[in-house]
Amino acid sequence: MALIKTVRGFIPQIGKDCFLADNATIIGDVVIGDGCSIWFNAVLRGDVNAIRIGNHVNIQDGAVLHTLYQKSQVHIGDYVSIGHNVIVHGATIEDYALIGMGATLLDHVIVGHGAIVAANALVLTGTVIEPNTIWAGVPAKRVKAVAAEQSREMNQRIAHDYAMYAGWFKESDNLPDTQVDD
């Protein structure tokens, strides 16, 4: 069962039909919408400020979401995919955006609707990423615009795939664990 911890009187709120991996950690002032999946070793640490997550968001293995005390919050829209080992620190990510594996978003970053942040990109404090663009590098820079339809198709597919993957784990919750003998 995921670690869900109250801090400073803030009790995490989890929407309907969410999948929380056994070792996901959700702490403090965190509100998660419906149909989300929080994967293995993900940490949503709302101890110092708010984390707000929309509907049908997938936060993949090893991702960390955190904020600055009284200075920044995390806001994530609907159908967003946060890749493996991503760090989101006090940033806003709008609907249908995709954050690639290992990327880091620093405080006050805004990722526009349908935008893509490439794997291992470092998005510096205060950067505004336009909708339907791809950003990559260290520090991240705009690579190119992407047709809204192309961005929507890819980002929707990934978001919907993760809802399907989460369903596999929900189905197996009623089955006994299999033990392998040496």
Q: pLDDT (tens digit, 9 = 90+) per residue, 123-138?
A: 999 999 999 999 999 9
Q: Is the pLDDT of residue 56 over 50?
A: yes
Q: Look up tokens 């890749």; give the residue.
A: 83
Q: Let me know if residue 179 belongs to a domain.
A: no
Distance CA 18, CA 39 (A): 11
Give the tokens for residue 180: 């392998």
Q: Let me know if residue 98 belongs to a domain.
A: yes
Distance CA 147, CA 86 (A): 25
Q: Is the pLDDT of residue 178 over 60?
A: no
State the number of CA atoms in the 13 A half-sphere of 52 facing the CB: 9
Domain range for 101: 3-172
Residue 181's pLDDT band (cuts 50, 70, 90): very low
Is the pLDDT higher at 167 or at 75?
75
Q: Let me know if residue 36 belongs to a domain.
A: yes
Q: Let me know if residue 162 belongs to a domain.
A: yes
Give the tokens for residue 18: 């969410």
pLDDT in the model for residue 173: 57
Q: Let me know if residue 164 belongs to a domain.
A: yes
Distance CA 121, CA 134 (A): 11
Q: Let me know if residue 180 belongs to a domain.
A: no
Q: For all residues of the chain together, what is the average pLDDT?
A: 93
Q: Let me know if residue 156 belongs to a domain.
A: yes
Q: Let me know if residue 135 belongs to a domain.
A: yes
Kindly report the CATH number assigned to the domain that includes residue 102. 2.160.10.10
Please state the domain count of the chain: 1
